Amino acid sequence: MNAGTAPFDLVIIGASGRMGRSLLQQLPRFPALRLHAAVAGPESRFLGQDSGELAGLPPNGVPIAASLEAALDNAALAMDFSTAAATADRVRLCAAAGVPLLLGTTGFGPGIATVLTDAARRIPVLEAANTSLGAAVLRDLVRQAATTLGTAFDVSVRDIHHREKRDAPSGTALALGAAIQEASGTPGQIQYTSVRDGDVVGQHEVLFLGEGESLRLSHEATDRSVFARGALRAGLWLVRQAPGRYQISDLFKEK
């Protein structure tokens, strides 16, 4: 950020959740972003609580609020790491307010595609099932392997997450599967296995099984702050983009 340039005002949707709190904890490392509002569901028991204190930080004067529409007023960027319910409504509100959106929520199903396409005519929308650099590299490696191996190898995708994660397979697992199908040029069968147990942050493994040989590609996140820092970095990139639909790989292409 250049001297004299005001920071971008950020709205965190799902601020009381695991990822929301991690974003709050990592935000001080990004002076080009400033917390504008912290939003949770209307039934959240944390409504009215200082969002800084909720994240284990000193008070920041920004309470957890329920109204996204009010939060988006004068905002420059929104990050949604809330639950899948009402995702379409949240996307529409961001588009109506002209606020760029990083959508980290997963498990909302294919019906959201039309809503995202409509929103992307007015604002930049980044769909980020996983915001870590390592996971982005894994997707590129998986795509390369699928291109080379084609349909000669059977493929399985396995993901392991904490017991509270609701969607299975994970959004990252499905993105890996989509990359495989696109690269191989065939909608071949991919076997998905999901484990929900303990407090695992996130593990993903792709296994290519051929005759007499196998190839295993994997990524493991041991600290949720990896995703938070990646999301904040991606958000700073997103606010400078034209309206359209983007993926996290678009950000890393500029390295």
Candidates 94, 156, 160; CA nearest to 127 is 94
* pLDDT confidence bin for 255, thresholds 50/70/90: low
Residues of the chain with CATH 3.40.50.720: 8-127+225-252
The pLDDT of residue 66: 96
User: pLDDT digits over 207-219, tens only?
Assistant: 999 999 999 999 9
pLDDT in tens, 8-41: 999 999 999 999 999 999 999 999 999 999 999 9
Q: How far apart are CA 64 and CA 44, in angstroms?
A: 9
The residues of the chain that CATH labels 3.30.360.10 are: 133-221
pLDDT digits (tens, 9 = 90+) for 226-237: 999 999 999 999
**How far is 15 from 3, CA to CA, in rounded Å?**
29
Nearest 10 degrees: Cα torsion 243, 245, 249, 252: 10
CATH 3.30.360.10 at 133-221, yes or no: yes
Is it the case that residue 1 has pLDDT exceeding 60?
Answer: no
pLDDT at 141: 95
pLDDT of residue 254: 63
Q: Hey, which residues does 220 pair with through a beta bridge?
A: 203
Q: Is 219 a catalytic residue?
A: no
Nearest of 212, 170, 210, 171 to residue 193 by alpha carbon: 170
Strands 77-80 and 101-103: parallel
In whole angstroms, give the CA distance from residue 148 to residue 125. 31
Assigned fold of 8-127+225-252: Rossmann fold (3.40.50)
Structure-derived torsion over alpha carbons of residues 43, 46, 49, 55, reported in degrees to the nearest 10: -140
Q: Is 99 helix (H, G, I), strand (E, B) or coil?
A: coil
List for the chain the helix, strand, coil content (%; round to 5): 35, 25, 40
Q: What is the rounded CA–CA span in Å between residue 103 and residue 171?
A: 12
Percent of the chain with pLDDT over 70: 97
Residue 140 CB neighbour total at 10 angstroms = 14
Amino acid, single-letter form, for residue 62? V
Q: How far apart are alpha carbons 41 and 166 in whole angstroms? A: 16
The predicted pLDDT at position 84 comes to: 84
- Give every CB contact of residue 242 below 8 A, 6+ residues apart in sequence: 124
Q: Which two tokens stand for residue 10?
A: 């950020």
Q: What is the pLDDT of residues 51-86, one digit of tens each?
A: 999 999 999 999 999 999 999 999 999 999 998 888
Least Cα distance to 215 among 136, 134, 135, 149 occurs for 149
Looking at residue 114, what is its pLDDT? 94
- pLDDT at position 4 is 55
- The CA-to-CA distance between both ends of the chain, in Å, stands at 18
Which entry of 36, 165, 204, 219 is annotated as an active-site residue? 165
Pick the catalytic residue from 36, 161, 204, 219. Answer: 161
Distance CA 246, CA 60 (A): 31
Identify whether 162 is a catalytic site residue. Answer: no
